[in-house]
Amino acid sequence: MENTDESLIEAHRRGETAAFDQLVRRYGDHLLGYLIRMSGSRDQAEDLFQETFKRVHEKAHTYRGGSFKSWLFTIATRAAIDNLRRRKRQSILSLDQNLDCDGDGQELGAVAVADSSNNPAQVAVKTEQKAQVRQAVELLPAKQRATLVLAYFQELSYREVADVLGCSVGTVKTQMSRALQTLARRLPDMAEEVE
């Protein structure tokens, strides 16, 4: 019988370290992929990953049931947004980061610009397009970026995204619409190619 998230967090509260380890294994890959997309840097994502699970450990007593995944991603999103705010204040946001997730997820823009050719010229164009998509996503405001990444790359429903971000489904739809409109403005050539 597989342990549920609720039983694992309860076991963790009782001091069973194996339960916490199982939660980390269960959600670690998805969480790291999400944090890489949110931060734009594997190194920062790994730091945020550690911070997220540290907060989960410290706040396990506040978990009241429901979707553990939503609760976990809420904690991770807050850590990522705090990190983005700190970086913005320090003016060190890098747009040249490689978002290789080591198989943990798709690189930003990989879906928008699928590589279907071995032609070197086309490969170079598609590589540049991927970089443009990645840069455009990185420039989105934190909440729009979080909404886009949670809904599109993490494949959470709008209800789950709303739970993670602590807002209404209508707000999620608005943030997603604004994010897509911003991306369409920043990437007009690619939008025309897709049509």
Tell me the per-residue pLDDT of 66-91, one tens digit each, with 9 for 90 and over: 889 999 999 999 998 888 777 766 64
Confidence at residue 186, expressed as pLDDT on a 0 to 100 scale: 84
From-to residues of CATH 1.10.10.10 in the chain? 104-195
Q: Evaluate if residue 96 carries a pLDDT over 70.
A: no
Q: In the predicted model, what is the mean pLDDT of residues 138-155?
A: 88
Whole-prediction pTM value? 0.65
State which fold the 1-95 domain adopts: Rna Polymerase Sigma Factor; Chain: A (1.10.1740)
CA distance to 11, 67, 151, 187, per residue, from 137 (Å): 39, 27, 14, 10
Buried b (16+ CB within 10 A) or exposed e, 81-92: bebbeebeeeee
* 125 vs 47: which has the higher pLDDT: 47
Confidence at residue 101, expressed as pLDDT on a 0 to 100 scale: 40
Average pLDDT along the chain: 80
Q: How many CB atoms lie within 10 A of CB 15?
A: 8
Q: Evaluate if residue 100 carries a pLDDT over 50.
A: no
From-to residues of CATH 1.10.1740.10 in the chain? 1-95
Q: What band does 127 get if pLDDT is binned at 50, 70 and 90?
A: confident
Q: Under a CB-based contact definition with an 8 Å cutoff, are residues 182 and 144 in contact?
A: yes
Could you tell me the end-to-end alpha-carbon distance of the chain, in angstroms, rounded to an integer?
A: 48
Q: What band does 189 get if pLDDT is binned at 50, 70 and 90?
A: low
Task: Check if CATH label 1.10.3720.10 holds for domain 104-195.
Answer: no
